[in-house]
Chain A
Amino acid sequence: AQSVTQPDIHITVSEGASLELRCNYSYGATPYLFWYVQSPGQGLQLLLKYFSGDTLVQGIKGFEAEFKRSQSSFNLRKPSVHWSDAAEYFCAVATDYSGGGADGLTFGKGTHLIIQP
């Protein structure tokens, strides 16, 4: 069964510093991978996605992620964080529930990002 592990429950970063959020997945074939962000009291918004091709994908808000098959990882990075980046971040992998192809997402438990001034 597919699974996603986000090892860090909380991460604190100073404003202007670089950021890396870790994500490891378990999936037999080539995965479809996603990063979503959730601001307090809001729904989730897609930051970026990986389906195939270039292993370094660019997203919105200056985020990028790198797919590493050998490490089963899809880590999210940002070179310089802003106070507005404080939020909950979720990694997800497309999942086959019906046996007919990917039809839902399996999410990690999330990483809470705190930005220090």
Chain B
Amino acid sequence: NAGVTQTPKFQVLKTGQSMTLQCAQDMNHEYMSWYRQDPGMGLRLIHYSVGAGITDQGEVPNGYNVSRSTTEDFPLRLLSAAPSQTSVYFCASSYSPGGSTGELFFGEGSRLTVL
């Protein structure tokens, strides 16, 4: 099983550019989420979704958009990249309707650098 697949693994952007980080899971999980990981900060929740058509904000949502048109995919969009968005991004999914009450399955991460 592929599990949670993130693309691209590495990306360099210039300030003001836009891009989409892709996330796909093949486990039929209803819950999907995006975290960012910064040195000394742990992981912080950006956005999450409890099912197709439903999204909500986490701790650090500013500068990011998400949509959930299918159960399998949960893309994260940066509309106008800023250097403060340089980070490693992780997509995670779970079978649990509540998301955080069950095991989260993580992708391998996408390292984004904004110049």
Q: Give me the interface of A with B, judged by CB distance under 8 Å.
A: 4, 9, 32, 36, 41-46, 49, 51, 90, 94-95, 97-98, 101-110
Contact = CB atoms under 8 A, between A and B. Distances in A.
Interface residues of B, number: 27
A91 to B, nearest CB: 9
Contacts of A9: 40
Interface string B82-115: 0000000010100000111101101111000000
B26 interface: no
A58 to B, nearest CB: 15
B56 A46 contact: no
Given A43-B109, A97-B57, A104 B100 contact: yes
A112 to B, nearest CB: 10
Contact of A90 (B43, B58, B101): B43
A41 B37 CA distance: 12
A101 B31 CA distance: 14
Nearest to B109: A43
A41 B45 CA distance: 19
17 contacts: A9-B40, A43-B92, A43-B108, A43-B109, A44-B104, A44-B106, A49-B103, A94-B100, A95-B45, A97-B59, A98-B56, A104-B33, A104-B99, A104-B100, A105-B43, A105-B104, A106-B45
Given A51-B101, A97-B45, A103-B50, 12 more contacts: A36-B104, A43-B108, A43-B109, A44-B104, A46-B103, A46-B104, A90-B42, A102-B101, A103-B98, A103-B100, A104-B58, A107-B44
A44 B104 CA distance: 9
Given A104-B33, A104-B48, A32 B56 contact: no
